Chains A and B, each alone.
Chain A
Amino acid sequence: MTDVVMPQMGESIVEGTLTKWRKKPGEHVERDEPLFEISTDKVDTEIPSPAAGTLAEVLVEEGKTVGINTVVARIDESGGNGARAAAPAKPAAAPPHSPPVAAAPVPTPPPQAPVSEPAEAAGPLSPLVRKMARENNIDLSQITGTGAGGRITKQDVEAYLAGRQGTPGRASAPPVQEPAAYVPPAAATPARVRVEPMSTMRMKIAEHMVMSKRTSAHVTTIHKVDMTKVARVRERLKADFQTRYGLSLTYLPFVVRAAVEGLRAFPIVNASIEGNNILYHNEINIGIAVALENGLIVPVIRNADEKNVLGLQRAIADLAARARSRQLKPDEVQGGTFSITNFGTFGSIVATPIINQPQVAILGVGSVEKTPVVIDDAIAIRSICYLSLTFDHRLIDGSLGDQFTGKVKAVLENWSEEVL
């Protein structure tokens, strides 16, 4: 057993904070491999293991501050013995007749993520080489550099790629420690997954969606809306809109306008929850979900209740265009009190959207389709659209959700307003 102690990182230093264990008890560690990290006064330090072996005991947990020379762990050298122990199986335990593959269900160290360590071994890499490695998903540690000082050159990468196409799989790879159990013997197949870190936007979206589902009691109610009147208004004004304002007139500003009427009639749908209080917002700021190439953003039409259909269409076109070219200002995505998502654009007739926190409801707009419907026992062709309202049942009861959606529906079905 070798004791691992808190090292002294300077003359005046009497203690250190152990911030992170790089190994778990039972894991194998090489001599000089980073074993833990400590922190002193804005300096993070990796501490290498003093010996090779199995991390037998961890005596100081992460976050604890201890004096220098305090024993923080013990390493058992008998198992490892410096041998690279691909699977640290105890030879004695393996019955001599058993096939070699089955011999090692012993806790193998988790496979090292094959990312992020390439630069170290091969000296500085040119941006070009890094780019090629990234694009072709190459582990650079598998390439022998032929440049100055063993540096990996573009030619080396090209040669490696050429070789890889010929012999699929990691021909020259060092034995990768796969969890041995269920892998069929012929493991030399091309990688089955491609690992790509999420963009910050994607991580943020993921976090927000799960947070919202955890926060609100989501309920969705769906109403069928006859958009025929709106469709006629739209048909009549479309060309005029295009020539006079350079805007194509869509259904969306009509829905926004109708939603404003609904929010005026039922202010609780325009509220949010803070602790045990209900915050009624005096402004009606409507977020419009905009799909981006690889994500989404919800820019906000401020004081939507002060705009007519023309103003709303202009705001929607402007926000969407700037969202896509990433030119929105921070305050243009904040302060929304209600959201609308227009998945109908993508052909969806009904969906159940997730609430945009801290709001309490979101209106989803399906595609507008000509549909045969029964009116006064006659069959007619009408432009039908399904509106789905997802609301937070903590604050909004079912009947209220339906009253709100009913109001939106009524405004759309009986459209009488001038749009200009």
Chain B
Amino acid sequence: MRSCHWRDLGRINYAEAFELQRAVAGRRKRGEIPDQFLIVEHPHTITLGRNGHMENLLAREEILERAGVAFHPTDRGGDITYHGPGQIVGYPIMDLREWKRDVVAYVRSLEQVIIDALADFGVEAGRIPSMTGVWVDGAKIAAIGVHISRWVTSHGFALNVSTDLSYFQYIVPCGLVKPVTSMSVLDAGAPRENVIERLVFHFGRVFECDMAQASANIETGELIYD
């Protein structure tokens, strides 16, 4: 069975996580490390995908800046989204050649991981055809946006656990005029670690790999590979 390292890097700003992903993806492409599943939380940030539309940003940027919300254009698929405290952001850095050379199957599987993890907390989540992401009664609970280079994935998903949903007022999430929700709103609030534990479990199951917890050097932020 393939092995996959996972680690919870805690709160880390978007630009830093972006560079970290690039570096890790670079090493993954060169075959120096196995698949990685990075889990982070971002401070208030709005990101715009490569094919996103600025008009889905409802607030002018200086207003965001004053509200303490950073803004980053980025290179993942998908439109605009919000990241912030109370959200679990997962960045799998996987070489799909060793799993399935199929980007759609990859996205559907990411959705499955989240759907299964939510079920463990009593949340019945599912898909809406042609609207990537995870939905509960027509409201989006997790967003997905992925970048692939030489079959190596980066970016991933953002699951609202106890996210302050009022920050979504600044955007039209993913360009869709659909409501957003969170586990807390659905009375299924849970500690971050517990949700991560279930996500990691289902990640290993769905992608058929051995999940090994790895750590990061707290001082330098460098990842430690075994």
Chain A positions near chain B (C-beta within 8 angstroms): 9-13, 19-20, 32, 34, 37, 39-46, 48, 119-121, 123-128, 130, 149, 151, 199-201, 203-205, 295, 297, 326-330, 333-334
Flag if A123 contacts B150 (CB, 8 Å): no
Tell me whether B137 is interfacial, beta carbon within 8 Å.
no
- Residues of B contacting A: mostly: mixed
B123-143 CB mask vs A (1 if < 8 Å, else 0) is: 000000000110000000000
Nearest-neighbor residue (CB-CB) of B63 within chain A: A330
B119 neighbours in A (Cβ, 8 Å): none
Flag if A41 contacts B104 (CB, 8 Å): yes
CB contact list, B99-133 vs A, under 8 A: 100-107, 132-133
Cα distance A204–B60 in the bound complex, in angstroms: 8
The listed residue with most A CB atoms (<10 A of its CB), out of B62, B65, B104, B145, is B62
Flag if A20 contacts B103 (CB, 8 Å): no
B22 neighbours in A (Cβ, 8 Å): 119-120
A34 neighbours in B (Cβ, 8 Å): 149
B133 neighbours in A (Cβ, 8 Å): 42
List of 3 A-B pairs having minimum Cβ-Cβ separation, nearest first: A10-B102, A126-B220, A44-B77
Chain B positions near chain A (C-beta within 8 angstroms): 16, 19-20, 22-24, 26-27, 32, 49-51, 59-68, 71, 75-78, 100-107, 132-133, 144-150, 220-223
Nearest-neighbor residue (CB-CB) of B75 within chain A: A44
Knowing A19-B50, A46-B149, A124-B20, the reply to whether A10 touches B61 (Cβ < 8 A) is no
Flag if A43 contacts B19 (CB, 8 Å): no
Cα distance A203–B64 in the bound complex, in angstroms: 13
Knowing A201-B62, A204-B62, the reply to whether A43 touches B106 (Cβ < 8 A) is yes
Flag if A330 contacts B59 (CB, 8 Å): yes
Nearest-neighbor residue (CB-CB) of B151 within chain A: A45
- How far is the CB of A170 from the nearest CB of chain B, in Å? 23
Cα distance A297–B65 in the bound complex, in angstroms: 11
B71 neighbours in A (Cβ, 8 Å): 200
Which residue from A44, A119, A204, A326 sits with its C-beta under 8 Å from B148? A44
Which residue from A43, A124, A203, A326 sits with its C-beta under 8 Å from B107? A43
Flag if A20 contacts B23 (CB, 8 Å): no
Given contacts A11-B102, A11-B105, A333-B62, 15 further A-B pairs with CB under 8 A are A11-B100, A12-B102, A12-B105, A39-B51, A39-B77, A41-B104, A43-B107, A44-B148, A46-B150, A123-B26, A124-B20, A295-B62, A327-B66, A329-B66, A330-B66
Cα distance A285–B47 in the bound complex, in angstroms: 33
B146 neighbours in A (Cβ, 8 Å): 42-44
Flag if B103 contacts A10 (CB, 8 Å): yes
Cα distance A149–B24 in the bound complex, in angstroms: 13
Cα distance A41–B60 in the bound complex, in angstroms: 28
Cα distance A333–B107 in the bound complex, in angstroms: 41
Flag if A45 contacts B103 (CB, 8 Å): yes
Cα distance A300–B144 in the bound complex, in angstroms: 39
Flag if A124 contacts B104 (CB, 8 Å): no
Flag if A44 contacts B65 (CB, 8 Å): no
Knowing A19-B50, A44-B148, the reply to whether A203 touches B61 (Cβ < 8 A) is yes
Cα distance A204–B61 in the bound complex, in angstroms: 7
Flag if A44 contacts B147 (CB, 8 Å): yes
Cα distance A123–B19 in the bound complex, in angstroms: 11
Cα distance A136–B221 in the bound complex, in angstroms: 21
Flag if B76 contacts A44 (CB, 8 Å): yes
Flag if A45 contacts B149 (CB, 8 Å): yes
Knowing A127-B16, A204-B61, the reply to whether A13 touches B103 (Cβ < 8 A) is yes
A120 neighbours in B (Cβ, 8 Å): 22-23, 26
Cα distance A125–B50 in the bound complex, in angstroms: 25
B222 neighbours in A (Cβ, 8 Å): 124, 126, 151
Flag if B51 contacts A19 (CB, 8 Å): yes
Flag if B107 contacts A127 (CB, 8 Å): no
Which residue from A119, A128, A151 sits with its C-beta under 8 Å from B19? A119
- How far is the CB of B58 from the nearest CB of chain A, in Å? 11
Cα distance A37–B147 in the bound complex, in angstroms: 10
Nearest-neighbor residue (CB-CB) of A10 within chain B: B102
Flag if A9 contacts B102 (CB, 8 Å): yes
* A-B CB contact pairs (8 Å), 14 listed: A9-B101, A9-B103, A10-B100, A11-B100, A12-B102, A44-B50, A44-B51, A119-B22, A123-B32, A200-B61, A201-B65, A204-B60, A295-B62, A333-B63
Flag if B19 contacts A130 (CB, 8 Å): yes
Nearest-neighbor residue (CB-CB) of B60 within chain A: A204
Cα distance A9–B75 in the bound complex, in angstroms: 18
Nearest-neighbor residue (CB-CB) of B220 within chain A: A126
Flag if A119 contacts B23 (CB, 8 Å): yes
Nearest-neighbor residue (CB-CB) of A9 within chain B: B103
- How far is the CB of A344 from the nearest CB of chain B, in Å? 24
Which residue from B63, B104, B148 sits with its C-beta under 8 Å from A46? B148
B106 neighbours in A (Cβ, 8 Å): 10, 43
Which residue from A10, A41, A121 sits with its C-beta under 8 Å from B132? A41
Which residue from B16, B104, B145 sits with its C-beta under 8 Å from A10? B104
A32 neighbours in B (Cβ, 8 Å): 150
- How far is the CB of A328 from the nearest CB of chain B, in Å? 5
Cα distance A19–B68 in the bound complex, in angstroms: 32
Cα distance A44–B106 in the bound complex, in angstroms: 13
